[in-house]
Amino acid sequence: MSYVDNVLQPGESVKVRATIHWLTYLNGLVTLAIAVAIFVGARQLPRFESVFDIAALAVAAIAGILLLRAWFHLWGTEIAVTDHRLIYKTGIIRRRTIEMNLDQIESVGVDQSILGRVLGYGDIAVRGTGEGTETIHLIADPLTVRSAITAR
């Protein structure tokens, strides 16, 4: 059972569930593409093929670590807006949670780059009364989440 489902109060319902955008995999995918390019390039230089194969294998291992890290980040993050509060949880073993009552949220800011607008991701900064500002990075469809938070 998810963290959000475990902490729901009686009579509280989830309005919107959000996720981290798939772009979190970008570093690993680019690194994997570099490993493939090294491997293919090695076939053009048969004399140094074994050296380039080892280099490609090392870069592919780094890509695997980056992709696994991104997957754990995606899997361990839950974002939900209920009819009473915003719930944000990240982490699997070491957990960090933020829960803000909607009545105590002063403002919600959305930061999207041009690429973020095209691909549908951005950052949300939530300012709470007396709680400071919490920023959720690389969230998919941030405008829907903002609308769910600000709609009363």
**pLDDT attached to residue 19:** 95
pTM, to two decimals:
0.84
The predicted-structure confidence for 13-39, as pLDDT tens digits, reads as follows 999 999 999 999 999 999 999 999 999
- Encoded amino acid at 72, one letter: F
Element (DSSP H or E) covering residue 9? none
In the block, tokens 């592919």 appear at 60
Averaged pLDDT for residues 96-116: 94
Distance CA 138, CA 113 (A): 11
